[in-house]
Every structure is written in structure tokens, then in C-alpha cells.
Structure 1
Amino acid sequence: MTDVAKIRGKVVVITGGARGIGLATATALQALGAEIAIGDIDETTVKESGVARDFAYYGKLDVTDPRSFESFLDEVERTVGPIDVLINNAGIMPTGKLVDEPDQITRRILDINVYGVILGSKLGIARMLPRKRGHVINIASLAGETHIPGLATYNASKHAVLGFTDTLREEYRRSGVEFSSVLPTLTNTELGSGVSGPKLLRSAEPEEIADAIVALIATPKSKVRVTAMAGFLSQVVNLLPESVADGLARALGSGDAFLGAVDAEKRKAYEDRARSA
């Protein structure tokens, strides 16, 4: 059971907080007494979500723009208070074969999923170190521990997030600032629309990811994988010989899950939004 006292009163910033995992996490933390600030590139939706739930702060945030990120955090600290937890959640997942991926989309994935996380972490650390307390939580993916056809650049971005966060954890050891990665399996949000997960494994609900993040804030650790079964299988598969692991993944359907098996019509709205500049 989560120690509510460890959540109550904390100022928590969540990027990509207008919908999906970000919004579910904001809602769960607010219910436990945290002061929530959400930022999102979608100005209309972040306002709708912020007003509907009466979050302490909400506003437009472009995680790829240092001025936007810095001013957003400044305003949070001015109006709400010193930031205790920064959750770098913003990310996109366009699907398809690499040869068909326009350079603009490749750069967009890396800008948001990698640079946005690095920038946010840097700005968060700079505020937390003088206070000798704080927690940076970076949303990665189980895709960061494996390789899935149709997600080459996305996989690369999440591998980067894991390596980056692990390095920060050691670089700032004993600083008072905690660093964690969250590794969700395919989740029932718009990002996962039109995609079926591997056979035998169910998709997670955003509330499950939110619950894992809540527990992580109460009791920090380096990584949490959701669901537990998907995380266990990911770790086991990485211990197998390459040919066996790849064969098992293909047998479970991962070879086609983000390519031919995608329901393009169901996924169109998300792909259009993710790919828009």
C-alpha cells in the first residue's frame, strides 16, 4: 500500500500530461494530495484537462524548445512551489518500416523522445541539486530493452532514455536527487491505437502505469516495468541466445504487430497528430 504521506503536498510536473499515461498519472497523484502541473504541446487539450480536474497549473509546453521548457518550469515554481518530481512523459510512436520513414519524422521522434527527456532532466536537476532533493522520472518503454520491427527509431529512442537515466543515477549518486525509469508494455492509449500486443500478453491500462509511478515516488527505485508479466518476459528473453529470443518474439507475433497487423484506420488519427510539426 502506498504511503500517502510521501505523496501529499509534493509539486509534480508531468510533460505530455494532457492525455494518456500523463493524464492518468496526474489524476492519481492529485487524488493523493499532490500539487499537479501538466504541460503539453496541445494547448487546447491541456487546458481542457487542466480545467476539468482543477490542476494547480497547466499550460502549453514544447519539450524540444529550451525557452518553452525553462519558462514553463519557472512559472510552476512561481505559482505552485519548488518542483519535487519531474516526470518526462512526452513521447510519440509513429510506426512503419525505417526506409519509409521521412527524415522529418525520424528527427521528430528523436527530438521529443530523447532530446526532450535530456532537456527536461537537465533543467530539473539544476533546480533540485541546490535543495539536495527531488526525483526525475523518465518514461521509457519495454521497447527500450528489446527490438520490434516497425519501431526502429522509437526503439532507439527508448534505449537511449534507459541508458541516459541509468547514467544520471550514478552521476548524481548521493546528491539527494533520485532518478528512475518506467518501462510500460503496450498501453491502451491513443499511442497504441490500432495495434495488437504480443500473443499471450495483455496490454496495460494507463491507470496501471499511473499506479506504478505513484509507488515509485513513494519508494524510489531505478526501474519499474509494467505489466509485471511483460517485464518478466522481457528480462528472461534478454538472457536467451539471440536466435532463440528472436524466434520466440516472432512466434508471439512481434514481427508483424507494428507493420502488417496494424489497423491503419483506427490508428490514422494518432499517426496524423504524431507526425504533424
Structure 2
Amino acid sequence: MGKHRSLRGKVIVITGGARGIGAKTAAALREQGAKLALGDLDQVEVEKTAAELDALGLPLDVTDTRGFTAFLDEVERRLGPLDVLVNNAGIMPLSPLDEEDDVSTRRQLEINLHAVIHGTREAMLRMRPRGSGHIVNVASMAGKAGFPGAATYCATKHAVVGLSEAVRLELRGSGVEVSCVIPARRPPPPSTEALRAAVFIPIVRTELASGLGEAKFFKSLQPEDVAAAIVDALRRPHFDVFVPKSLDAMGRITRLLPRAAGEWIARTLGGDQLLASAAHSSARSSYEARAAESAPSVGTDGDS
């Protein structure tokens, strides 16, 4: 295994950096001596988080492509050339697909997918000429399986995984690294280690998970767990960043099960209803309201 790379002095940008995984990742990277820039739609909160970490905090609407580009330009003007971009911003509204309105669908596509595509492209344009850099795209186990009550969210995360895989191949030999982060629940006890990957529910305990309960045998991740995995991927570059690490081997084994068997196990453990049951939860209402206001540049008629 090669020597770990130092992150000291590296210019690292994190979208959705005001809270949750973004904020915890920033804190972990600050301990590594990185020069941080946090972007978030919530200007007050991102400036507060940045001040606590001695970082640069700027307002950022990731759905505004020109604004996103200008944000990166400003970061490079103030901190230096971009070394790492962490595409972390995302939302997860919950409802059955036939109850989801088109505004919500477009909002998820703009924030969770289009913004990641644009950020990744911008990073490639800045990093490839220098022959160095690292792009980190935060996906989800929802990018590897389907979960009722979150169909559009699953679609966006599947797309982020595919985007990351394709860009990794496009950048082969360029000196620019790509990592795709797949958070999921902690693994079950040894007696159930042969369960299909579909029973892993994409829950990290941030505001995004408001109102979601616990499936049988599983424990939710904390944002710090994901942050630590991202730091490790930057210090020892690798593409697949499963959180927890054992999820990769688990998935390889359980994909051998017939689909019907995997779906039966998911139903038995309650994994098939964890997201769907929270769709109309009162405990989730404040998050859903904030998510609904999270993309001011996304219009109802397709303008952005």
C-alpha cells in the first residue's frame, strides 16, 4: 500500500457544506490542514459553519450553473487552484412516485444530478490541465438499489454512480482521481451476513433523515462516519467508497441471491417500508419544507 497523501494546504471545496455530512467532512479535513471553501444555499448557516472552522463560506445555489462556476472562480481567486471538489449537496423528498409533483421531480434532478454533472465538469476543466486533483461525488446505497417512497431520489443517485464510473474512465492517466461515496446502514450481525444488499437502507442521521425509523437489525450511520471515509479516500485515492467498508463485499455476495429472495428478506426486515412510511411523517415536515425551497433557480416550466 502506498504512502498516504497529505491534505495540508490543499484547496478543497464542499457543496452543501453548511450542515450534515458536508459540515462534518469539512471539520475532518480541517484537522488535516486543508484550505476549505464551503458553499451552501443557506448563507447564514454556511458562514457560521465556515467561521467555526476558519474556512471560506460563500452562498451557493448549485442549480445555477453560471453561479456555480463563478463560485469556483472566486474560491480559486481567494485560496488558489482547486485541488478537491466534494459534490455533496442533495435533497431527499419522500413520496410515492404517483403522488410526487413535477416541481419536486425537477428539483431533485437539478440538485442531485445536474449540479453534480456541472460541478464534475468544472472540476475536470480546472484539474486536467494541471495533471492533478480529486473529484468526490456523494451518492447513496439508493444508487445501487431501489427503495419505495424515494423513486426519483433513487434515480438521481443511480445516475451519480454511473456518471462517476464514466468520468473515472475518461480521466484515466490524467492524474485526476474520482471517488464515489456510497453510504448505507451498518452491516447486520454475523448471523445475517448473507442478506441481499437491498436490505441496506440509505440512512445517515442528518436532517435529511428526519422522521425515518430504524429497520430491524440495523443501526444508522452518523455524518462523522461518512466524513472519515471521504478523508480516507482523499489520502489513499480509491474509487469505491462504501460506508461501512464491509458493504462492498456484502453486496458482491448477496447479489448472487435470486431477486425474489432478496425482496422477501427486505420485506421481512422492514427495509422496503422505511422510506415510504416516513413520507407523510410530521417529524419530517420541517425538512420537507426546507427541501422544497432549496432550489430558487429551478422554474416550474423548466427554466433554470
Q: What TM bracket, shorter-length normalisation?
A: over 0.9
Q: For residue 208 of structure 1, what is the aligned residue in structure 2?
A: 225
Q: Which residue is equivalent to 2:34?
A: 34
Structure 1 residues 235, 108: CA separation in 2 closer, same or farther (over 3 Å shift)? farther
Q: CA deviation at 1:267?
A: 1.1
Match of 1:240 in 2: 257
The correspondence for 2:288, drawn from 249, 271, 276, is 271
- Using the alignment, how far apart are the partners of 2:7 and 2:248 within structure 1? 25
What secondary structure sits across from 1:37 in the alignment?
strand
TM-score if structure 2 supplies the norm length?
A: 0.87
What are the ranges of 5 or more consecutive residues in structure 1 without an aligned counterpart? none
Q: Structure 2 counterpart of 1:9, which letter?
A: G
> Paired residue for 1:82?
81
Classify the secondary structure of the residue corresponding to 1:73. helix
Matches of 1:10 and 1:149, distance apart in 2: 40
Q: What are the residue-to-residue correspondences of 1:78-227 with 2, within 5 Å?
A: 78-185=77-184, 186-227=203-244
Deviations 1:135-168 (A, max 9, x none): 0000000111111101100000000000000000
SS at match of 1:187: coil
**CA apart distance, 1:220:** 0.8
Structure 2 counterpart SS, 1:24: helix
- Residues 23 and 215 (structure 1), Cα distance of their counterparts in 2 relative to 1, 3 Å cut: same
State which drifts further: 135-144 or 233-242: 233-242
Deviations 1:18-76 (A, max 9, x none): 00000000010011100110001111211111122221x11111111111111110011
In structure 2, what is the Cα distance between the partners aligned to 1:237 and 1:103?
35
- Does the Cα contact within 8 Å between 1:201 and 1:230 map onto a contact in 2? no
User: 2: distance between equivalents of 1:91 and 1:9?
Assistant: 27
Q: Which residue of 2 aligns with 1:259?
A: 276
Matched residues in 1 for 2:49 and 2:166: separation?
Answer: 34
SS at match of 1:260: helix
3-state DSSP of counterpart to 2:215: coil
Q: In 1, are the aligned partners of 2:21 and 2:227 still within 8 Å (CA)?
A: yes
Partner of 1:14: 14
SS in 1 for 2:242: strand
8 A contact 1:86–1:124 mirrored in 2 = yes
Superposed displacement of residue 202, structure 1:
0.8
Instruction: Supply the distance in 2 between the matched residues of 1:106 and 1:118 (Cα, whole angstroms).
Output: 17
CA shift in 2, pair 1:120/1:264, >3 Å: same
Give me the whole-angstrom Cα distance separating, in 1, the residues matched to 2:16 and 2:252: 28
More helix, by proportion:
1
- Cα distance in 2 between the residues matched to 1:242 and 1:197: 23
- Point out where structure 2 has 5 or more consecutive residues left out of the alignment: 185-202, 297-304
CA distance in 1, matches of 2:291, 2:119: 20
Match of 2:189 in 1: none
TM-score by length of 1: 0.95
